[in-house]
Structure 1
């Protein structure tokens, strides 16, 4: 895997420098917990789109059934199914893990050890939109490969643990993200999101769900996720306010 074939120079340099300052210099954080950066060369984006199209044509010719990426997407393919597992292993271990160690340590970003990689397709004769959900990952990489399209923005609505996944959206948690070919967005898998309708053209994205078995095991023994779950944090602050109010009231009564 020759990095210069796949990645833009500034991304390669930041990873090679291997320090948090260099990594953060290439990142934008348009909304808390959402990080965007230029990642893929146009050549690689075009190559991936061609690979997917050729794979789908071959499957149609030999009349095999394609395993779809997940239960929500009716179009797209699992990248491991046509020999890209070693490449995705390298992508996660050498290029995404340095970022996740700096950005998402509270959700196992320092111990990613498995992945699920796939592409999704949206357009007039494909999926049009994607409903509100969380990913089966600790950290998700989502990169737009192209092509020409209108709409299809990602909408984000706050990070939640399993207990609070359907809790109300707070006003500050609303954020929409517009896809740019070659640009990546990196976020916690538990960041609730979906895709608005692609109203014209054809959009294809490469997605890598990065997982940590250590974090998943540790999570079984935790009840408070206020360091990353918005609702846990909201409830914790409410409890703290109630405690302060009760203490103040007790002092006032004592002085009477």
Structure 2
């Protein structure tokens, strides 16, 4: 059984059995400090060093007649301290003996946690969890989170009363559940989804796509978007154009309104109250919700405030704090790593949440103005501080993988397609957008690799989106070479086999491309060119080539200055251009219909003398790297 700051971990029969062994009429809890009047400390009877000396009135048990006599002994006003009242009775030797009052000095029944966190631990026996006092060797039953250690008490409460055990996992997750599946869509709760775009954020397109993909009736969803960033105006506009009519209502606060984040977040709370919505779901733009069942799953958990556990992939940074420091800021809890690594799965009462929260509508009146409650703190910290003050519990759920957080720091925004440059900061999202959906198939043990010419291998490598954005980025840069032998970009300023091209280092993509070669190209190379390992691969010639009939339609036969070469087709033969392709002279083998997003890989020196076939019409784009020159 659980309440505000007390947990009872055993049955009443067990409590009575333990109480009977004290041979007392009234038994009080005990603690390590004398409060509220420290001057009374020396008047207490002595105890052993391992025992607790001082009365705590947060828990007591006794016979009704003695308890009645004690509580009616003399009047006590509402403003007076009840612990001082009982302390004075206990320290009166006559009254203590008359009413048979004793203290639970060894924490046989009562465990007060303030100033005692270092002496307790959680233990498990089958499906049962219990507290063990290592100092006294006892297993207390009534656990009291007294004093200023509430966040740590709530953390321990996640496990106690069989809330989570090593054998059964989260048993508390099965309590007080709702069942939306039993409802008709017309009876679903209404949800206000408030999205906050406060700074330039990579992969905002996917943010909106995943919002749309949530499996929840759109007729039951209102959308509020606070966009403080001019860069993302086009993304918001696109979302509105495609989905305006699907939701019950959409409200947008654009950058020119200059509404602060704090005001916008408080407004979302007030709007949810005004419209009598059942839930408020807040989403920061760095949130990528990849599990479409998220909203229904969180609602089914039936908690005041709940969030999916999200973290930065491969990092320790997440959207919750497991504990608080004495100053009220982040502290790592003992179980934090187990939670973010999914070694412990469940529903966790925690002191701070950010980035995305689902809040029950009936809780919102108590949280009005919470984001502005403390102007010295960030809005999310201020909100959580208010929630803690109001005892509105916050939970994080890691029972499933819900999604992740993107990293928005150092996001370059001076390009046409900024995410192309983001492979280091957000490799998971970069791969999701830019790598071909069939890429992994070529790495499977039983995969059959296409080989259109001897020792020439053909792989799906990048997505259509990559090809389109890549070509657009270079055309936007626009500084194509003249195709002459004189090339000041090269050491020696001479190109033996010139093309109309732009080098990756000219647009600032060189390091990102080398990362691409290492992460995505090298595994394929090691698969087909058995025995050759170079980790990481090196390449000083990485460039996009443009073929046009009136500019440079073909390329004469040549060897590449590489151990192996990759050639990625960036647009569609027969649609974007006619003709083109590659002929390997020694084998008299031609590839005339390269697929968009697919990569040829072939040896560079000696064996694979080749030429670029004539482009008859349109414009053909290919991406070339001479790997390990």
Fold agreement, TM-score > 0.5: yes
1:6 maps to which of 424, 434, 445: 434
1:174 maps to which of 581, 588, 592: 588
Within the alignment, does 1:50 sit opposite 2:472 as a pair?
Answer: yes
Q: Is the 8 A contact 2:480 2:501 kept in 1?
A: no
Against the structure 1 CA distance between its residues 58 and 95, is the aligned structure 2 distance closer, same or farther, given a 3 Å change threshold?
closer
Q: Is the 8 A contact 1:153 1:176 kept in 2?
A: yes
Please give the root-mean-square deviation of Cα atoms over the aligned residues, in Å. 2.7
Unaligned runs of 5+ in 1: 60-64, 159-172, 213-256
Unaligned runs of 5+ in 2: 1-422, 424-429, 482-486
SS at match of 2:550: coil
Bigger RCO (CA 8 Å, 6+ sep)? 1
SS at match of 1:21: coil
- What is the count of residue pairs matched by the alignment? 187
Deviations along 1:186-240, one digit per CA (max 9) or x if unpaired, are: 111121111111111100101111106xxxxxxxxxxxxxxxxxxxxxxxxxxxx
Name 2:598's counterpart in structure 1.
183
SS at match of 1:87: helix
Q: Is the 8 A contact 2:518 2:535 kept in 1?
A: no
Q: Is the 8 A contact 2:479 2:502 kept in 1?
A: no
Give the structure-2-normalised TM-score.
0.28
Within the alignment, does 1:199 sit opposite 2:623 as a pair?
Answer: no
1:90 maps to which of 501, 512, 515: 515
- The equivalences for 1:19-98 within 5 A come to 21=445, 25=447, 27-56=449-478, 67=489, 70-98=495-523
Superposed displacement of residue 135, structure 1: 0.5
Superposed displacement of residue 28, structure 1: 0.6
Name 1:237's counterpart in structure 2.
none
Q: Distance in 2 between matches of 1:176 and 1:58?
A: 27
Name 2:625's counterpart in structure 1.
208
Based on CA coordinates, which of the two structures has the bigger radius of gyration?
2
Name 2:363's counterpart in structure 1.
none
- The equivalences for 1:234-253 within 5 A come to none
Within the alignment, does 1:129 sit opposite 2:554 as a pair?
Answer: yes
Superposed displacement of residue 20, structure 1: 6.2
2:579 maps to which of 151, 157, 174: 151
Give the structure-1-normalised TM-score.
0.65
**Which structure shows the bigger proportion of residues in helix conformation?**
1
Superposed displacement of residue 183, structure 1: 1.5
